[in-house]
């Protein structure tokens, strides 16, 4: 029966020695920061052509975080691969034989993902903000402005929680292709479409990506259904539901 420390060390070694770990986390950083910088630069260049309403609704903080829409793709892949690779290669049998306590295994993988993603997410959030604000020029804001620092940490939290959410989905579905086949359409197709349909928009507001948008927004010029704290609670609830679902299925099924 493996001890918790030994299991955690083992999971850390697995993740650290797989090339996809570095590739996906680097991609998350580059895409989020790079795309946010491009959009910030374009916004600054087109400022004189914007309408009065567009200038009124302009949020320099969320503009610099525009790249997260695509950057989260790499984070979803990372979370799925942490567990999906073991199921694909059959190594999960070895893991379960060495660690029959299913909760210990899942918690160790969760802690490993948290330790890997959170530092990258913090670096990404601050880098995206600072570079984006520099490119916005006279239209920039500062970390000391009201609500800005909270939005920066909100981006880091959202990135981290999306990785944990995808980890839970990976445990539930076990196959990387199947897991990503569910996550990608949900975040990049279903959620945006439903959020644009008046009849179901009120439901789509509570999807994790829509709540994530509230986490990185400072100026709410429209009637938002909830604030920053509630948005964080929604994302946490989705993440917890996926991890609990992953644990319940892991406990009931064989490898």
The one-digit pLDDT tens for each residue of the chain (255 residues) are: 457 788 888 888 888 887 878 899 999 999 999 999 999 999 999 998 888 888 888 999 999 999 999 999 999 999 999 998 888 888 888 888 888 888 999 999 999 999 999 999 999 999 999 999 999 999 999 999 999 999 999 999 999 999 999 999 999 999 999 999 999 999 999 999 998 888 888 889 999 999 999 999 997 555 568 889 999 999 999 999 999 999 999 988 866
Q: What was the pLDDT predicted at 1?
A: 47
Contact indicator for 186, 76 with CB cutoff of 8 Å: no
Other Cβ atoms closer than 10 A to 140: 19
Judge whether 118 and 156 are in contact, CB under 8 Å: yes
Range of the domain at 11: 4-252
Q: Which two tokens stand for residue 134?
A: 């520099």
Count CB atoms within 10 A of the CB of residue 103: 11
Q: Which of 70, 159, 71, 63 is nearest to 113 (CA)?
A: 159
CA gap 23, 2 in Å, rounded: 30
Number of domains within the chain: 1
- Nearest-angstrom CA–CA distance, 53 and 35: 24
Query: Using an 8 Å Cβ cutoff, are 69 and 155 in contact?
Result: no
Lookup result for tokens 């940490």:
153
């Amino acid at each position: 029966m493996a001890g918790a420390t030994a299991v955690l060390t083992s999971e850390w070694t697995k993740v650290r020695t797989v090339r996809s770990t570095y590739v996906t986390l680097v991609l998350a950083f580059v895409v989020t920061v790079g795309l946010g910088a491009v959009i910030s630069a374009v916004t600054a260049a087109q400022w004189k052509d914007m309408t009065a309403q567009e200038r009124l609704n302009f949020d320099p903080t969320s503009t610099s975080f525009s790249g997260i829409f695509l950057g989260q793709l790499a984070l979803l892949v990372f979370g799925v691969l942490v567990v999906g690779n073991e199921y694909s290669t059959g190594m999960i049998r070895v893991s379960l034989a060495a660690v029959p306590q299913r909760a210990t295994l899942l918690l160790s993988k969760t802690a490993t993902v948290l330790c890997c993603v959170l530092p990258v997410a913090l670096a990404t959030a601050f880098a995206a903000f600072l570079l984006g604000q520099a490119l916005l020029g006279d239209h920039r804001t500062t970390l000391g402005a009201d609500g800005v620092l909270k939005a920066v940490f909100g981006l880091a939290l959202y990135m981290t929680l999306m990785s944990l959410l995808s980890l839970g989905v990976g445990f539930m579905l076990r196959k990387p292709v199947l897991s990503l086949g569910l996550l990608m359409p949900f975040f990049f197709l279903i959620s945006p479409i439903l959020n644009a349909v008046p009849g179901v928009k009120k439901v789509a507001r509570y999807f994790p990506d829509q709540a994530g948008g509230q986490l990185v927004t400072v100026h709410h010029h429209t009637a938002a259904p909830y604030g920053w704290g509630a948005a964080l609670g929604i994302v946490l609830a989705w993440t917890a539901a996926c991890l609990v679902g992953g644990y319940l299925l892991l406990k009931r099924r064989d490898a």
